[in-house]
Amino acid sequence: MDVIALIGRILFVFLFFGSAMGHLTQTAAMAGYAASKGVPSAKAATFGSGVLMVIGGLMLLLGVWADLGALLLVLFLLPTAFLMHNFWKETDPQAKQMEMIQFNKDLGLAGGALMFFGLYAGPGSELGLTVTGPLF
């Protein structure tokens, strides 16, 4: 089970690292989009969310307080779903559908991150292939 859990962690965080690189290397462009969605301090929020994804993703991937890393990803995903992908405000059917897909993706990933939190905060302390045990 140790190897399966490690493979699951690798596959799960892969998405966050790619997204984080965009947040950190294309901050101005992404901040413009965030500002158009009404995100306050869009540039700082864009950069900060990139840092949050890198830190949370690395913690979960490496098993360094993997439970905390999973919670950091939830802290990114839930506000992002509601602030950036508010499909209920869209009037164009195609835009509405695209935002709904992204909203549901973020909620699904938040659910997965919460499952990782539960796994590593509880019985996951028995899993191997981690650097530390859980923080919580």
Would you place residue 126 in the very low, low, confident or very high pLDDT band (cuts 50, 70, 90)?
Answer: confident
For residue range 30-43, what is the model confidence (pLDDT) as tens digits? 999 999 999 999 99
* Residue 3, domain member (yes or no): yes
* Residue 113, domain member (yes or no): yes
Q: Is it the case that residue 107 has pLDDT exceeding 80?
A: yes
Q: Is it the case that residue 125 has pLDDT exceeding 70?
A: no
- Quote the DSSP letter at residue 104: H
* Residue 48, domain member (yes or no): yes
Which residue type is seen at 131?
Answer: V
Mean pLDDT of the chain: 94
CA-to-CA dists, residue 34 to 25, 40, 44, 63, 126, angstroms: 15, 8, 10, 31, 41
* Residue 64, domain member (yes or no): yes
Contact 53, 20 (CB under 8 A): yes
- Phi/psi at 3 (5° precision): -70, -40
Q: What is the dihedral of CA 63, 65, 67, 71, to 10 degrees?
A: -110
* Alpha-carbon span 41 to 45, nearest angstrom: 6
Is this structure's pTM higher than 0.95? Answer: no
For residue range 31-76, what is the model confidence (pLDDT) as tens digits? 999 999 999 999 999 999 999 999 999 999 999 999 999 999 999 9
Share of the chain above pLDDT 70, in %: 99
* Residue 67, domain member (yes or no): yes
What is the residue range of 49's domain?
1-121
* Number of domains making up the chain: 1
- For residues 53-63, b (16+ Cβ closer than 10 Å) or e, as one string? bbbbbbbbbbb
* Residue 129, domain member (yes or no): no
pLDDT at 34: 96
Q: Is it the case that residue 124 has pLDDT exceeding 70?
A: no
* Residue 22, domain member (yes or no): yes
Which residue type is seen at 97?
Answer: Q
Residue 127, classed as helix, strand or coil, is coil
Contact 35, 42 (CB under 8 A): yes
* Residue 133, domain member (yes or no): no
